[in-house]
Amino acid sequence: MNNLNQVNDSGDNLVNCLMREARSRFSKSENPQMNLVWLELTGCSGNIISLLDGDHPDFSFLITHMMNLVYNNSLMAAEGNAAMQKLKAVLETPYILAVEGAVATANNGYYNIIGQMDGKPLTALMAVKMLSERALHVIAVGACACHGGVSAASPNPAKCAAVRDILERKVIELPGCPCHPDWFTGTLAHILLYGEPELDEQNRPLMFYIHTVHDRCERRSLFEQGIFAKKLGDEGCMFKIGCRGPVTPADCPVRKWNQHVNWPVGGSTPCIGCAQFGFPDKMEPFISYDVTE
């Protein structure tokens, strides 16, 4: 495991080793010392839903053996003032901050208020700034948190921004719409076991984002042979009908989704580039039927 950061073509094996090590190391831990705060800001809550579908290890293992989930808008039992007090109390403890959704900045952030703290509205903008100051690590989970995503798509009336654009500190980026559960759980496992994983120039963990979707796509050989699909359902490479795999770093072809069952190209749908910065505006149109011979 000492060469875990040396991510190359065997990166998948290294990730599998990391996950096995996490399950082995934390299986006997019933009272995790590290707290996790998960903020859901301007978005669809798709990333926390995706995380619930994880199995490598699963969500239950994550919050009972690896981390102590102190706050999440959707999942916690506490509400109102009780929830805000939990959020405030975590500031005095060691914690990792995960942020899902973009940060609404218009009107001083009042487009997104997550609760009342000390008798005053607590905006998402205030919350992410407050919690990031003492967090050991800040992780942007999903497209909206990483670069604005759908929430910041034109015309963006709430002036949604990426987490990194409003903070003056490093943010680990896990782009995707949604983020694959392994990308988040694997990043957490690496932090807990070995420290911060090796990141690329965009602060994405190389163990998940070093190759493009196109590099390891199951239809890559068809691309090399010049066999291209003209419509959805054709067996050829879907590059000419809009696939964004060549410009999207992500390990979807080998990791797959829904507990490793399938992925878009496996279902005869082009990659729409959801894990690339600039999605969705810069990845459109997702489908094009203007195919010439």
What angle (nearest 5°) sits at the alpha carbon of residue 75, between those of residues 70 and 80? 75
* The pLDDT of residue 9: 45
CA 59 to chain centre: 15
CATH number (3.40.50.80, 3.40.50.960, 3.40.50.700, 3.30.43.10) of 11-209 reads 3.40.50.700
How many residues comprise the chain? Answer: 293
User: Rounded to a whole number, what is the distance in angstroms from the first to the last CA of the chain?
Assistant: 49
Give the span between the Cα atoms of 102 and 142, in whole angstroms. 9
Dihedral pair phi/psi, residue 45, rounded to 5°: 65, 15
Fold of 214-283: Cytochrome-c3 Hydrogenase; Chain A, domain 2 (4.10.480)
Does the reported pTM lie above 0.75? yes
| DSSP structure class, residue 198 | P
CA distance 13 to 20: 11
* pLDDT at residue 279 in the model: 96
What local confidence, expressed as pLDDT, does residue 7 receive? Answer: 42
Contact between 128 and 134 under an 8 Å Cβ cutoff? The reply is no
Query: Taking every pair of C-alpha atoms in the chain, what is the biggest distance, in angstroms?
Result: 66
Q: How many CB atoms neighbour CB 175 within 10 A?
A: 30
Q: Is 176 left (phi over 0), alpha (psi -120 to 50) or beta?
A: left
CB < 8 Å & 24+ apart, contacts of 203-207: 203/164, 203/170, 203/171, 203/172, 203/173, 204/172, 204/173, 204/174, 204/175, 204/249, 205/172, 205/174, 206/5, 206/7, 206/11, 207/4, 207/7, 207/11, 207/14, 207/15, 207/18
pLDDT score at 33: 81
Give the span between the Cα atoms of 137 and 193, in whole angstroms.
14
Taking the C-alpha atoms of residue 204 and residue 210, their distance in angstroms, rounded to an integer, is: 9
Query: Are 170 and 138 a contacting pair, CB within 8 Å?
Result: yes
Low-confidence stretches of the chain (pLDDT < 50) are 1-10
- The domains of the chain are located at 11-209, 214-283
Give the model confidence (pLDDT) of 45-88 as tens digits.
999 999 999 988 999 999 999 999 999 999 999 999 999 999 99
Q: Which of 204, 172, 182 is nearest to 275 (CA)?
A: 204
